[in-house]
Structure 1
């Protein structure tokens, strides 16, 4: 991964040093270059390794630590100093910052605060346009049940995970009926409830151990096993879990429920992209209109919501792309072709599309969607989408070949 922060740390306390090492090793944006147990030797370590960041735990001897910070700032000005202390004494913090520290964190460290501090250091060192890694949060939701939200989330996650530069986790937020684990044929040991109830004690390494890793490289945090356990996950818990996942992975895919409850809306607010999966039929499009009106009440939510038409070209579809877009008042971002037989096989076998049917049009479409969401190519215009769908429809015998430009239901039927 480009622009990794190379870090050396000093902490005379063995237990806190080991804990800090475990946390840092779980961060993909940082390379732990060296560690040291004595303040007196740390400057020699810096000269030998020349890291980007020097992490100083001050609790061993605060006065000696401040002297060390001042000496490093004078003799190694290219090393950015990040310090941590269990003390919140204002005078100590002021002395530390005056000595040359750039970031001050309170121990015990919160992983998300450490990640945020390192992100600030990275932006300062490499510039705003060169993120150390960052995390793109994509929430996948639907206009109604049964439109393929989970299949979209799972296969999008697997497509993203196929890139060796990506680390991807899927969070199943359908806490009662979620089945992402079925799509991946896994039996998870831990669930969202387990993680949320212990989030205050987790570091990045323990978090990864709490996830289920699929052969595709995709990590999964599944929904609770017992229905009643869904009530144990609060918005505050979910916010902290998302914060930890964002600090640990390059991509977080959230498979939201269709209840649009407090947890779903929190996920949508915290996401960078929201994918609204729908079909070109009257009930779905009416729901999209209603949801978009509701999304206007949350600043920025409607603007980051992209319409994804699933099962495009299925026989008997009564609404055209053109009329659907007129009704919705916005363009469809992407269309995924209908391939019922392949999707049934994928679900029953518990394998992703990339494994079951890597050359299928539906697989290629979702892979291209993953690329577009990562900035590797833009979404096609409506006319290009329609043309692509016409070519897709020719792949399956017996399917309707009506195009997106044929006469259809009037837009007035879809409003309200």
Structure 2
């Protein structure tokens, strides 16, 4: 932490700032550090540019000022400035050996507050720090806790992941009365938007194909809002092959969790490299399965070889459940799964078919299926599983 001061008696000298200094060239970075040291001291120095995927971790330190050297890699530096400014209120400054008016404009558009031209005068640095001190609120707001991540994944294709995930998200948005986002990662053929009766202009593909420029401002343009209040990042309407990486998925989820209280993911049956980003510490993974030999076998392997070794909380959901499914009793089901299932969603073909035909979410109507999903969503947001009896399931309520 550093205290900034100026010889100007009218300056705000009692502010306390934290400063990060980023510069690839040691001698230039050291010169800037000495200028700051004339006022105070640098909290942390970085001898290389952070990758854009590292920005969320950089921002966790809650720096008041981040100063970035521009010249070593100006395009990456600009992307870094834009990413930082798009995801925080930190004051960003840049320094350069070139007085380039075009570059100055680009830096300002990216969000930089100060463009410092070397050699930098001591008074120039002092004034810039004072301006940063003025921008800093007298009382720092409490740091926002990352939103809770709920991932729905199927033991086998056709398990009903999309139906459960999309209706859970609708119910969670309504019951919690907090900001909720549904991300359809069931690529390339996700159809959560179809289940919800909405048509989106943009999709998950747009986010993952523009990962270097992805911030919340960009992400917000890709979302569509359902009448329930749920925000949705839909899968592409047309078949789109998306080359995605674990880092890209992790960045998308990180930005989403920074800006929504709840993030729900329809992951289909994703168990490749990109699946690792879904099973983070603190997330809840709902493994959707059915009572069948192949489904239970897949579930057993996934639980023992993948999900139990992750930092995620695991909940088993048996879909289309009947009390005598294929002659397999509950004791055999629990033995096959190596754990008791937390949720059993009853088989109700007429209600499910009606919801699909009318494009009206099950969560907005009363049915045996919707009652269990309601209990799941209320438990997820810390409410009693069984709500008081009152009129609900009103589309416009």
Which is worse superposed, 186-195 or 311-320? Answer: 311-320
Tell me the number of residue pairs that the alignment of Structure 1 and Structure 2 aligns: 297
Which ranges of structure 1 fall in alignment gaps of 5 or more residues? 1-57, 74-80, 380-416
Residue 316 of structure 1 and its aligned partner are, at CA, apart by: 4.4
8 Å Cα contact 2:153-2:269 kept in structure 1: yes
Hey, what's the Cα distance between the residues in 2 that align with 1:69 and 1:234? Answer: 46
TM-score (norm 1): 0.62
Hey, what's the Cα distance between the residues in 2 that align with 1:188 and 1:270? Answer: 31
Match of 2:368 among 361, 366, 369: 361
Hey, what's the Cα distance between the residues in 2 that align with 1:140 and 1:216? Answer: 20
Hey, what's the Cα distance between the residues in 2 that align with 1:263 and 1:318? Answer: 36
8 Å Cα contact 1:282-1:319 kept in structure 2: no
Hey, what's the Cα distance between the residues in 2 that align with 1:64 and 1:305? Answer: 59
Task: Please show how residues 9-408 of structure 1 align to structure 2 within 5 Å.
Answer: 70-73=13-16, 89-91=32-34, 95=39, 103-106=63-66, 107-110=81-84, 114=88, 132-163=144-175, 165-231=177-243, 233-269=244-280, 272-295=283-306, 298-301=309-312, 304-313=313-322, 316-355=325-364, 357=365, 359-377=366-384
Q: SS of the counterpart of 1:216?
A: coil
Deviations along 1:360-391, one digit per CA (max 9) or x if unpaired, are 22212111111112232479xxxxxxxxxxxx
8 Å Cα contact 2:86-2:215 kept in structure 1: no
8 Å Cα contact 2:181-2:260 kept in structure 1: yes
Residue 85 of structure 1 and its aligned partner are, at CA, apart by: 8.3
Deviations along 1:60-112, one digit per CA (max 9) or x if unpaired, are xx9799x9563335xxxxxxx6778888744466656679x972453445268
Hey, what's the Cα distance between the residues in 1 that align with 2:40 and 2:307? Answer: 46
Distance 1:347 1:296, change over 3 A: closer
8 Å Cα contact 2:152-2:265 kept in structure 1: yes
Residue 244 of structure 1 and its aligned partner are, at CA, apart by: 1.0
Hey, what's the Cα distance between the residues in 1 that align with 2:263 and 2:321? Answer: 26
Distance 1:63 1:201, change over 3 A: farther
Hey, what's the Cα distance between the residues in 2 that align with 1:340 and 1:263? Answer: 33
Q: SS of the counterpart of 1:230?
A: coil
Residue 347 of structure 1 and its aligned partner are, at CA, apart by: 1.5
Deviations along 1:184-242, one digit per CA (max 9) or x if unpaired, are 122211111212233443443442221011111111112234545322x3222222111
Distance 1:293 1:83, change over 3 A: same
Hey, what's the Cα distance between the residues in 1 that align with 2:186 and 2:302? Answer: 18
8 Å Cα contact 2:162-2:268 kept in structure 1: no
Hey, what's the Cα distance between the residues in 1 that align with 2:275 and 2:7? Answer: 49
Distance 1:202 1:85, change over 3 A: farther
Which ranges of structure 2 fall in alignment gaps of 5 or more residues? 24-28, 44-60, 67-80, 92-135, 387-397
Distance 1:102 1:158, change over 3 A: closer
Hey, what's the Cα distance between the residues in 2 that align with 1:91 and 1:318? Answer: 77
TM-score (norm 2): 0.64
Residue 289 of structure 1 and its aligned partner are, at CA, apart by: 0.7
The alignment yields a C-alpha RMSD, in angstroms, of 3.7
Deviations along 1:280-322, one digit per CA (max 9) or x if unpaired, are 2222111111111221684434xx2211111222764422222
Q: SS of the counterpart of 2:236?
A: coil
Deviations along 1:242-283, one digit per CA (max 9) or x if unpaired, are 111111111111111214122223222366100001112222
